[in-house]
Structure 1
Amino acid sequence: MAGSSNGKVVPAAYPPPVDSPREFIKRGLDGEDELIEVGVAIVGGGTAGLACANRLLQLLADDPETMERLGEVPVAVLEKAKTCGGHNLSGAVMRPGPLQELYPDLSREDWRKEGFAFGEVGKEAVYMLPNGKTKLRIPPPPPFKNHGNEVVSVAALARYQQRIAEEAGAYVLTETSATQIVVDDGRVVGVRSGDKGRGKDGEPLGNFEPGTDIKAQATVLAEGCWGSLTGAAIREFGLDDGREPQVWELGVKEVWKVPRPLTHLIHTIGPWPLKLSAKYGQIGGTWIYPMKDERTGDDLVSIGFVIDLEYADATTSAHDLLQKFKLHPLVRGILEGGERVAWGAKALPGGGYWSMPKLTMPGALLVGDAGGMVDTVSLKGVHHSILSGKLAAETIYDALRNGESSLESYEQKIEDSATGKELYEVRNGRQPFQKGFIKGAPIVNLAIATKGKLPPGRLPWHKNDEQPMFIGDTADSYPRPDNRYTFDKLSSVFITGNATRDDAPNHIRVQRNVPREVAETWKWMCPAGVYELPEDAPESGNVDVIVNYTNCVQCGAITAKGGRLTTPEGGDGPLYTIT
C-alpha cells in the first residue's frame, strides 16, 4: 500500500506542505533605502550565536579600522524569543574549557554568582533500571564520567552572554524572527526578518509591520536544532551531499526545588521505563543533576528524559515517560517534599560526526546544533556550541580584516578542534541502536571502548521519518497526573510562560489528513499537546488532525517525524529562564 513498509505506515510518505526553497530563500536584496545594513548578522541568540558575537567583538575592540568598515551596526543578533535564552534548553552538564577561554576573566565562582552555573560535579552515579521498583548501580561508562564538569542552565547562560554582547556593542534584536536567507549570485548576502501583526489566515492586522531585508557582509546560522534557514541553506548549497542523514532525539526536562540537596549527579540506563523489544525501537535514558543556586541558597534538581526519535510505537511520549520515571523509588526519594518550578522540551541532533553537513557556504556558516555538533554518547553539546561560535568569529574576523570572501577555513578549524576530535571518536557510537537495544548495545560498547576504531568504516543511518510506525501499547503504562509528582502536558506548557497569541499565523506544517498511525505518532510525541484527533476519528485508515499551534514550545521534534516546524512570529513561544 502507498506510504507503507512491510505493512506499516511510514511518516515520510506524507510530507508537509512546504514550498521550498522559494519559501525560505529570497533572491536578491531590496533597494538600499528599504533595507538595514549590518556588518555580521547572527541568526539565533543561544550559546553558539552569542559566543560568536562575543568573540567577534573582543577581536574588533582591538582593531578599530576593521570595526569601522563594518558600519554603524558591526554585529547584529536576531533572536525570535522575547529574550535570548527564551527558547533554549539542555540538561546540562558542561565541559568548562571553551567558556573559560571565551571569558578568561570570569572564574567559576563568578559563573555561579551570575546565576547560570550551579556547581562543579564531584560525586556521580549510574544506575541500570530493570523495572519500576529496583535499581542496580554500575561503574560509570567512560562517556558518563563528569567529574570536574559544571551543571549549567543554557537559558540563563544565554541571558548573560546577551548582556556582555550588548555592553561590547552588539545590537541584539529580540522578538525578531529571520524567515528567509537572502541569496544573490550564489552567495548569502543577509537575511529577511519576518512580518509581525498578521492574523490566522495571514491577513495584515491593524498593528502589521512588514519584515525587512538585513544585508550583511557575513551571516551566521545559529538557529539550533533544525532551523528553517539552516534547512533551506543545506538544500540550496548541497551541504549534506555525501553525508549521512541527520537523526534526532527529544528531551523533556523539569527543574524541581527540593528540601534536601542531591549529593550525586545521576544517570540511568534502561531498559525501564522503555520497552526492551526491538519491535518498539525505543532507545533513551535519563538524568538527575544537582543544582545549588548560590544567589538564593535554594537546592534544585534538573531531571529529564531523552528518547531517540527512531521509535516505532506511535504511542511513545517523552513527556509521559518522564512522568513515569519520577515514580521510581530512586527518583521519588529525591523529589519527596519538593516543588516543580520549571518544565521544557527540546529536540537535538543525534547523528554526530557522519551527519554533520558542510559547515560553510559562500557568505555564511553554521555553528552549534545547527551544524549537528552534539555528542549524544556522552550527552554533551554546550561546550561544542561555545567553541564553534568562537572559531566562527575568528574565521569571520580574519576574512573581514584581510578582505577575503571565503569562510571555508572554518571547516578545518572545527576538524582540528576538540569538537572535531571528540565527535570523531564517537562517530559510530549510536548507529547500532537502530538494530534495537539488545543487538545494538554490544556494538556500541565496542565503538566506545576503541574510540571509534571498531567497527571500522562509516556506519549508516536512516531518517527517523522512514521508520514504519504502528499503534502499540506503550501508553497503557503512563501514570495519570496527580499534580504533585506527575503532570499533564497543558499544565506543563503553562509554566513555560508561553505567550503565543491566539490569532497568530500557524507556523507548523503537517498534512491534515493522514493515516491514524501517523496522527497518533504526532499526538503522543509532541510534549506540548499540539496535535489532537477528533473524538469521532475512525479507528483505522485516514483521520483528520487538529493542530493547536499556539501551544507549541518550539521543540522541533515534528520535523523528525513527518512534519515541519517553521519560524513563528517574533516573541511567540516559551520564555524559559532556568532550563
Structure 2
Amino acid sequence: MAGSSNGRVVPAAYPPPVDSPREFIKRGLDGEDELIEVGVAIVGGGTAGLAAANRLLQLLADDPELLESLGEVPVAVLEKAKTCGGHTLSGAVVRPGPLQELYPDLTREDWRKEGFAFGEVHKEAVYMLPSAKSKIKIPPPPPFKNHGNEVISVAALARYQQRVAEEQGAYILTETAATQLIVEEGRVVGVRSGDKGRGKDGEPLGNFEPGTDIKARYVILAEGCWGSLTGAAIREFELDKDREPPVWELGVKEVWKVPRPLDRLIHTIGPWPLKISARYGQIGGTWIYPMKDERTGDDLVSIGFVVDLEYADATTSAHDLLQQFKLHPLVRGILEGGERVAWGAKALPGGGYWSMPKLTMPGALMVGDAGGMVDTVSLKGVHHCISSGKIAGEVIFDALKRGDDSIEVYEEKIENSVTGRELYEVRNTRQPFQKGFLMGGPIVNLAIATKGKLPPGRLPWHKNDEKGMFIGNTADGYPRPDNRYTFDKLSSVFITGNATRDDAPNHIRVQRNVPREIAETWKWMCPAGVYELPEDAPERGNVDVIVNYTNCVQCGAITAKGGRLTTPEGGDGPLYTIT
C-alpha cells in the first residue's frame, strides 16, 4: 500500500510542506540602496566557518591593497545563535594538526588557558557492553586510538575563533539567520537575512525588522548538517548528481562536574542498550571523555550517545538511551557524586565520502559538516571542519587576488588534504550496517582492516526516511527520570539556555496528520520534546501531531525522518557554552 514498506510506514511518503529550492533561493539582488555589500559572506559561525574567516583574514592582513578593495566589511559572518558556538556541539576529541596549523602561535597550553581545550589523551579504553551489568574490555580498534589527541569544547572554540576574527576585522552578525541564497544568472551573489519580530502567524509585531540582502563576491556555506541554504544550493546546482544520498546520525551529550578525575578516554560499542536485531536497525555507540578545566580546577566529564538514524523502531530515543546508559555500573561509578552542568543534542552527517556533494558552485563553496566531512567510524569531524575552512580561506584569497571567478580548485585541494584522504579510507565502512549489526559487522571490520580496499567499489546508501517504521519496544528499557542521574527532555532543554520566544513563527515543517508510526518516530526521536501526540490519539491510523517548536534546540534530526528544520528567527534556540 502507499507509504508502506514490508508492512511498515515510510516517512518519505509524508514529505514536509517545503517548496525547495524556490523557498530558499532569491532571484536577484535588491537595489543598491537597499542592500549591504561585503567582501565575503560566511553563513554559520561554527568551527568551519570561523576557520575560513580566520585564515582569509590572516592572508588579507599581508595584502593591505586587496583588503582595502573589499570595502568596509571584508568578511561578514552570519550566525543565527546569540553568539558564535551557541548552537555548536560535538564530543569532542580532535586531532591537533589542523588547529596548530591555523593558529601557529598558540601552544596546547594556550588552548587550555583560552578555555576551549581540556587535556591531552594519554590513556584510553574500549568496552563492549553485552548487558546492563556486564562489560568486556577489548583492544581499541584503529579508529578509536586517540593517544595524543585533545579533548575540546567546540562551542568554546567557536567563541575564541569569533574573538580572533573580530580582532582581524571581521563583522560578526550574531542573532542573524540567513534564510535565502541569492542567485543571479547562475551565480551565487549573496544571501538574505531573515526577518525579525514576526508573530506566530507571520504578522509583523511592533519590533518588526525586515531582512536585508547581503551582496558578496563569494559566499561560504558553513551551516552544519544540511542547512536550509545548503540543501537549496545542492538542488539548485545539482551538486548531488552521481553521489549517494545523505544519511544522518544523532548525538546527545551531557557534561558532568565530577568529584574524581577520569584518567582515560572511554568508548563503548554495545550491543547494549541497543537491540542487535536487523529488524530494529539500531546502530550506535558512546563516549566518555575526561575534561580538566585548568582555569577553575574542576574535573569534568563529557558523556554522550550517538545513534544512526537508520533505525526502524519508532520508540528509539538517543536522549533516553543516554539516560539508560548512565545506569550501567561502568558509567555510574564515574558519575557518582557528580552534577550535570550541561546538555545538548546535534545531528551529524553519516554518509562520508560517497555522500559528499560537489563542494563548489559559481560564487560559493561548502565547508565542514555542510559538505558532509565527518568520519563517523572514528567519531571525528572537528579537524576536518578546521582543515576545510582553512583551505576555503586560501582558495578564496587566491581567487580575489587573481580577480577571476574560479574556485573549483577547492574540490581538488580537499580531495588531496587530510580530510579527503581519511574519508576515502573509510568510504565503504558504514554502509554494511544497513544490513544490521550482526550481518554488517564483519564487512565493516574488513573495510577498517584494509583501509577501504575491501570491499571494493562503491557501496550504496539509502536515505533514512526510506526506512519503514514500526512501533517496537525499545522504550520499555528507558528509566524514569530521578533528577539525579537520569533526566527528562524538558529539564534538559532548560539548562541549554534556550530562549525562543513563545510567539515566534514556527520554523519546523512537518505534516500534522500522519500515521501513528510516523508520529511516534518524531516524538521519541526528538531530544527536546518538540513533538507530542494528543491524549485521545487513536492507537492505529492517522493522528494529529502537536509541534512545540519553541522547545527546539536546532539538532536537525527531523530532516532525516520525514520533516524539515528551517532557520528560526535570529537569536532563538540554545546557548551552548561548553558542549
- Normalising by structure 1, what TM-score? 1.00
Instruction: Kindly state the Cα deviation for residue 473 of structure 1 after the two structures are TM-superposed.
Output: 0.3
Instruction: Kindly state the Cα deviation for residue 6 of structure 1 after the two structures are TM-superposed.
Output: 1.2
Following TM superposition, the consecutive aligned residue runs of length 4 or more in structure 1 with deviations greater than 2 angstroms are none
Q: Which residue of 2 aligns with 1:419?
A: 419
**3-state DSSP class of the match of 1:270?**
strand
The percentage of aligned residue pairs carrying the same residue is 89
Instruction: Kindly state the Cα deviation for residue 135 of structure 1 after the two structures are TM-superposed.
Output: 0.4
Instruction: Kindly state the Cα deviation for residue 252 of structure 1 after the two structures are TM-superposed.
Output: 0.1
2:313 paired with 1:317: no
Give the counterpart letter for 2:205 in structure 1: L
Q: Give a deviation string over 1:506-535, Cα, whole Å, max 9, x none.
A: 000000000000000000000000000000
Q: Which residue of 1 aligns with 2:194?
A: 194
* Structure 1: distance between partners of 2:333 and 2:134: 13
* Structure 2: distance between partners of 1:133 and 1:22: 53
2:70 paired with 1:77: no
Q: Which residue of 1 aligns with 2:228?
A: 228
2:164 paired with 1:176: no
* Structure 2: distance between partners of 1:260 and 1:6: 50
**3-state DSSP class of the match of 2:192?**
strand
* Structure 2: distance between partners of 1:554 and 1:406: 34
Q: Which residue of 2 aligns with 1:150?
A: 150
2:331 paired with 1:331: yes
* Structure 2: distance between partners of 1:19 and 1:277: 37
Instruction: Kindly state the Cα deviation for residue 86 of structure 1 after the two structures are TM-superposed.
Output: 0.1
Q: Which residue of 1 aligns with 2:136?
A: 136
Give the counterpart letter for 2:418 in structure 1: A
Q: Give a deviation string over 1:263-290, Cα, whole Å, max 9, x none.
A: 1100001100001111100000000000
2:36 paired with 1:36: yes
* Structure 2: distance between partners of 1:516 and 1:65: 62
Q: Give a deviation string over 1:315-353, Cα, whole Å, max 9, x none.
A: 000000000000000000000000000000000000000
* Structure 2: distance between partners of 1:259 and 1:450: 42
Give the counterpart letter for 2:163 in structure 1: R
* Structure 1: distance between partners of 2:404 and 2:124: 48
Give the counterpart letter for 1:301 in structure 2: V
Give the counterpart letter for 2:61 in structure 1: A
**3-state DSSP class of the match of 2:23?**
coil
2:119 paired with 1:119: yes
* Structure 2: distance between partners of 1:8 and 1:299: 47
Q: Give a deviation string over 1:380-423, Cα, whole Å, max 9, x none.
A: 00000000000000000000000110110000000000100000
* Structure 1: distance between partners of 2:66 and 2:227: 30
Q: 1:486-497 to 2 correspondence within 5 Å?
A: 486-497=486-497
Q: Which residue of 1 aligns with 2:259?
A: 259
* Structure 2: distance between partners of 1:146 and 1:517: 40
* Structure 1: distance between partners of 2:177 and 2:531: 24
**3-state DSSP class of the match of 1:306?**
strand
Q: 1:450-489 to 2 correspondence within 5 Å?
A: 450-489=450-489
* Structure 1: distance between partners of 2:243 and 2:290: 38
Instruction: Kindly state the Cα deviation for residue 158 of structure 1 after the two structures are TM-superposed.
Output: 0.1
Instruction: Kindly state the Cα deviation for residue 69 of structure 1 after the two structures are TM-superposed.
Output: 1.2
Q: Give a deviation string over 1:430-450, Cα, whole Å, max 9, x none.
A: 000000000000000000000
* Structure 2: distance between partners of 1:576 and 1:402: 40
* Structure 1: distance between partners of 2:317 and 2:456: 34
* Structure 2: distance between partners of 1:176 and 1:246: 27
Instruction: Kindly state the Cα deviation for residue 226 of structure 1 after the two structures are TM-superposed.
Output: 1.4
- Normalising by structure 2, what TM-score? 1.00
Unaligned runs of at least 5 residues, structure 1: none
Query: What root-mean-square deviation, in Å, do the aligned CA atoms of Structure 1 and Structure 2 show?
Result: 0.3
* Structure 1: distance between partners of 2:303 and 2:53: 31
* Structure 1: distance between partners of 2:263 and 2:163: 32
* Structure 1: distance between partners of 2:496 and 2:275: 30
Q: Give a deviation string over 1:48-100, Cα, whole Å, max 9, x none.
A: 00000000000000001111111110000000000000000000000000000
Instruction: Kindly state the Cα deviation for residue 7 of structure 1 after the two structures are TM-superposed.
Output: 1.1
Instruction: Kindly state the Cα deviation for residue 455 of structure 1 after the two structures are TM-superposed.
Output: 0.2
2:542 paired with 1:542: yes
Instruction: Kindly state the Cα deviation for residue 245 of structure 1 after the two structures are TM-superposed.
Output: 0.3
| Corresponding pairs, count | 579
Give the counterpart letter for 1:454 in structure 2: L
* Structure 1: distance between partners of 2:421 and 2:404: 28
Q: Which residue of 1 aligns with 2:446?
A: 446
Q: Give a deviation string over 1:476-527, Cα, whole Å, max 9, x none.
A: 1100000000000000000000000000000000000000000000000000
Give the counterpart letter for 1:418 in structure 2: V
**3-state DSSP class of the match of 1:427?**
coil
Q: 1:342-353 to 2 correspondence within 5 Å?
A: 342-353=342-353
Instruction: Kindly state the Cα deviation for residue 22 of structure 1 after the two structures are TM-superposed.
Output: 1.6
Give the counterpart letter for 1:392 in structure 2: A
Q: Which residue of 2 aligns with 1:249?
A: 249
Instruction: Kindly state the Cα deviation for residue 540 of structure 1 after the two structures are TM-superposed.
Output: 0.5
* Structure 2: distance between partners of 1:43 and 1:73: 15
Instruction: Kindly state the Cα deviation for residue 246 of structure 1 after the two structures are TM-superposed.
Output: 0.5
Give the counterpart letter for 1:246 in structure 2: P
* Structure 1: distance between partners of 2:282 and 2:19: 33
Instruction: Kindly state the Cα deviation for residue 2 of structure 1 after the two structures are TM-superposed.
Output: 1.2
Instruction: Kindly state the Cα deviation for residue 372 of structure 1 after the two structures are TM-superposed.
Output: 0.1
Q: Which residue of 2 aligns with 1:362?
A: 362
Give the counterpart letter for 1:193 in structure 2: S
* Structure 1: distance between partners of 2:247 and 2:11: 14
* Structure 2: distance between partners of 1:572 and 1:318: 23
Give the counterpart letter for 1:504 in structure 2: A
